[in-house]
Amino acid sequence: MSVMPEVPRLGVGAVILNEQGEILLVRRNREPEKDTWSIPGGKVDLYETMESCVVREIKEEVDLDVEVKGLLCTAELIEPEKGNHWVSALYEAAVTGGEPRNMEEGGAIGEVRWFSLDRLPGNLARFTVPAIAQLQKRSEKL
């Protein structure tokens, strides 16, 4: 028997690139998409703007101060059999302070790593795939 959410849930994610053009990914320890590599982010709280959620979630998860540069794309995860329906706004963000570190060890995040865009892990989270595709489309236009 499937568990149905009452309404879709709203999330955000952040594409963060370092000076070498590598993307920051976190390995998820929890569902949805446990054991996949994802851009960091999380759920939007009631009355919280999506951009302020990006800043908060990045600080909570990987201890970085970031500035939101703009909306990159959106993504959806619909799994009725698991009771999941997420809509996420995926933003580009620039680091303004800090060094990335796992703030949720033993929790939602198992590992934090930089990856070259041409050497990404095979088990990417579904929210990460459209963000990377959008980055690649943009670089092809340059």
Q: What is the pTM of this model?
A: 0.91
Cα dist. 71→18, 92, 101 in Å?
18, 6, 24
* Spatial CB neighbours of 62, under 8 Å, sequence gap ≥ 6: 24, 26, 40, 100, 101, 102, 103, 109, 112
Q: What percent of the chain has pLDDT over 70?
A: 96
- The count of C-alpha atoms lying within 13 angstroms of the C-alpha of 29, restricted to the half-sphere facing its C-beta, is 12
Q: What is the pLDDT of residues 82-141, one digit of tens each?
A: 888 999 999 999 999 999 999 987 788 999 999 999 999 999 999 899 999 998 888 777
Superfamily of domain 9-140: Nucleoside Triphosphate Pyrophosphohydrolase (3.90.79.10)
For the question of residue 33 being annotated catalytic, the response is no
* Spatial CB neighbours of 136, under 8 Å, sequence gap ≥ 6: 117
Catalytic entry in 19, 76, 111, 140: 111
Please, which pLDDT band fits residue 1 given cuts at 50, 70 and 90? very low
Element (H, E) at 15: strand 9-16
> What are the residue ranges spanned by the domains of the chain?
9-140
| pLDDT score recorded for residue 107 | 87
